Structure 1
Amino acid sequence: MSDVRVVVGPGVVADPALLSEVAEREFAALGVKGSIRYARTVGELRPDGGLPVILPGPDPAARALMSEPVGPVVWLDLTRDDRVRPGPDALHVHGRGVDGLAWAIRHAVHRTRHHARRIRYGPHPDQWADLYLPPAPLLGGSGPSPSDPGLPVVVLVHGGYWRSIWAADLMEPLAADLVGRGFAVWNLEYRRPDLNGWQATTEDVAAGIGALAAAAEPALDLDRVAVAGHSAGAQLALRAAADGARVALAVSLAGVLDVREAGRRWLSSGAVRAAMGDDTRTHADASPLARLPLKVRQLVVQGSGDDLDLIDFSRRYARAAKESGDDLTYLEMSGDHFAVIDPTTPIWHTTALALTSTLARHL
């Protein structure tokens, strides 16, 4: 594998030692070689090999470079900029602060290790899904049996409190882990409501799940599809199931499952109101808790070290779902908000085993 080459452009406002600390930590965690250097001119920002992660800075000429066809660059802005449309094969990570450097490096490495086929389900730049397929059916172990009539599929729906600074790259570690277990993975991107409105978001999740059938991939068993969402993505996933999406299992990973109460409690600085407005009917329609029974098998996963409100939502939702007659498994283990999407954690390992067991017997 090529080295990761982080290039910091002129005018980037960040402590150089801190950027180096973040980069070195990620290089070590990912088992790659890497370097970080500081460009004095815009010309020095152009990628020159390796796996480029470039912080362009404020110079207009540097920012214009982001839309040019310069290859698979990960462009990183520490601040938010929704106007950027990166060139072909490029990704724009923005608005995540200094920690965005970690996400940018992870994506640069992930895309070289794990091949995905990008399939668009609409004309907007955010209407796509990455389809991952195992190189061959897994034999033995905990993976699906090679005698099964096609691969079970896990649709991944990222969270981020419905804000556009967060994107499908959040779920790439899970995609890699699930493919290694013998699943096909459909990592779904969608228009976020802060830029496109709430209706666009709900329409995209439904259309994105439905586009699986149009992918014309004979290796997939469309009778064994799970939709798994993280945080706000869990609300979208379970909402899609309530609306009749063709899924055998709906999975909440630290989900926002009581939208009405999340709005009342001003969760994440008013994320519900920012995404959906003030209409309480919209909040009720969007809330998985208010839509029970879903009449779909469910797995609700919650870290015990997460936000106390999310623990409250998950526990109350699980009780109410069972009382409504839904088939639901509740899994609460040690872990914070991101442990449920970290393949190295016990809570994710247990979740993956539950996914395997449930989809294996859904025939």
Structure 2
Amino acid sequence: MSAAQVIVATGVRADHDLLATVARGELDRLGVTGTVTIVDGAAAVRERLAAGTPTVVVPGRDPDTRALMALDGPHAAATVWYDIEVTGPAPVAPGAAHLYGRGVWGLVWAIRHAVLRLRHPATRIGYGPGPEQYGELRLPPAADQPVPVAVLLHGGFWRSVWAADLMDALAVDLAARGFAAWNLEYRRPDRSGWAATVSDVAAGLSALSDVDAPVDLDRVAVLGHSAGGQLALRVAADHGRVALAVPLAGVLDLAGGDGRGIGTGAVTAALGGPRYEVPEVYAASDPMARVPIGVPQLVVQGADDDLDLIDFNRRYVAAARAAGDDVRYVEEPGDHFSVIDPAAPLWHTTADALATALKIT
């Protein structure tokens, strides 16, 4: 894929020059020749969609423009709709995607998602009846024998504005390295409750047994970024059939996160209350409370990340080792997103360790 377009409706409440600058920067970074166009009205958006070029649309609030989101046609599979405001999920045509609520910076992720899902298509497989209960499978080229699996759990402080697209680039990179990448979406607690999140992650992992693909279920690693790091350790502790748990800049001390109010109260909101009101939920979910989890671990943390996360990770590793867990700790230069950036040296260190642990030569 060498060309794409970004369409911004005039009614979008943001500086259009800034949006265009952000969009052009990401297109250039991805090596894509693209156009960024500010258009007025639904008819102009529809005309642009008809061109058939892979597209990201920032539709704004105009009802006629938003009605195009559900419009079926050849363009749909190549279109990502992005709302910079927190709109909640919106219906889109089959094959299209909708992201929302990440502000101006979220346009970067929308463009990345549009490009990567067309450059490196995934097979979407449901593991439950809901629209958020699915995994996206990417296999290595010419996978003719069972390959190890990297299960990916996105972060975002367990909030619905962040979704599985955060792990697209890692999934593509892991497939190229010889892994089957199983990128899980799951219901988030802000819309569905904590129990739904926990059960979805477990169900998504178990669904690997029914996947019609050459996967080696004795070599499964669960990688979780940020809040997903906590989910990775929880499912590894609960499931028992995980060869390696890999929290990447994980939120590994939920009681500490509740007490410090990290992520503007993200832990408290996700788990349904502070630790002293729902202690049983924290006891089951907090990595600090679950050690030893009995599964080998590779704990990865960027040295330039939030200081509380660095503190949580260092103290978790000490507690897990003291409890008898087999834990390797990697802390190298990098910010919160370096751990999921295939171009970052920190990810290269992680991927090499992962390949060694799961015996990829």
TM-score normalised to the size of structure 1? 0.94
Name the aligned partner's letter for residue 111 of structure 1: R
Q: 1:76 aligns with which of 82, 89, 95?
A: 82
Matched, 1:192 2:188: yes
Tell me the distance in 2 between the aligned counterparts of 1:56 and 1:303: 36
Secondary structure (helix, strand or coil) at the match of 1:208 reads helix
State the 1:269 CA deviation: 0.2
**Identity among equivalent pairs (%):** 55
Residue 228 (structure 2) pairs with residue 233 (structure 1)? yes
In structure 1, the residue matched to 2:120 is: 114
Give the superposition deviation at 1:281: 2.2
Q: Any runs of at least 4 consecutive aligned residues in structure 1 with deviations exceeding 3 A, and if so which? A: none
Aligned ranges for residues 83-122 of structure 1 at < 5 Å?
Answer: 83-122=89-128
Q: How does 1:244-323 map to 2 (within 5 A)?
A: 244-278=239-273, 279-323=278-322
The amino acid that maps onto 2:128 is G
Once the two structures are superposed, the pairs formed by residues 113-262 of structure 1 within 5 Å of their partners are 113-136=119-142, 150-217=146-213, 219-262=214-257
- Tell me the distance in 2 between the aligned counterparts of 1:233 and 1:85: 26
Cα drift, residue 361 of structure 1: 7.7
User: 1:280, CA displacement in angstroms?
Assistant: 2.6
Instruction: State whether residues 260 and 284 of structure 1, in contact with CA within 8 Å, keep that contact through their aligned partners in structure 2.
Output: no
AA aligned to 2:159 is R
Q: Which has the higher mean CA deviation after the structures are superposed, 60-69 or 255-264?
A: 60-69
Q: Which runs of 5+ in 1 are unaligned?
A: 138-145
TM-fit CA distance, 1:111: 1.1
Query: Does residue 64 of structure 2 align to residue 61 of structure 1?
Result: yes
Structure 1 letter corresponding to 2:63:
P
Shift of 1:36: 0.9
Q: Which residue of 2 aligns with 1:325?
A: 324
Residue 245 of structure 1: CA displacement? 4.4
Unpaired runs of 5+ residues, structure 2, are: none
CA distance, structure 1, for counterparts of residue 236 and residue 176 of structure 2: 26
Shift of 1:2: 4.8
- SS of 1:330's equivalent in the other structure is strand
Mapped contact 2:16–2:38 kept (Cα < 8 A):
no
| Equivalent-residue separation in structure 1 for 2:87 and 2:20 (angstroms) | 23
User: For the Cα contact (< 8 Å) 2:89–2:100, is it kept in 1?
Assistant: no
1:154-197 CA deviation, whole Å, 9 max, x = no partner? 00000000000000000011111111111110000000000011
State the alpha-carbon separation in 1 of the partners of residues 317 and 190 from structure 2: 29
Structure 1 residues 31-50: aligned runs within 5 Å:
31-46=31-46, 47=49, 48-50=51-53
- Number of equivalenced pairs: 351
Deviation of 1:273 after TM superposition, in Å, equals 1.3
Query: Is the Cα contact below 8 Å between 2:247 and 2:299 reproduced in 1?
Result: yes
Specify the SS of the correspondent of 1:241.
helix
Farther-moved stretch of structure 1 (191-200 vs 6-15) = 6-15
Aligned to 2:358: 359
Partners of 2:158 and 2:189 within 8 A in 1:
yes
3-state SS of paired residue (2:219): strand
Partner Cα separation in structure 2 for residue 135 and residue 154 of structure 1: 15
Q: RMSD of aligned C-alpha atoms?
A: 1.4
SS at match of 1:170: helix
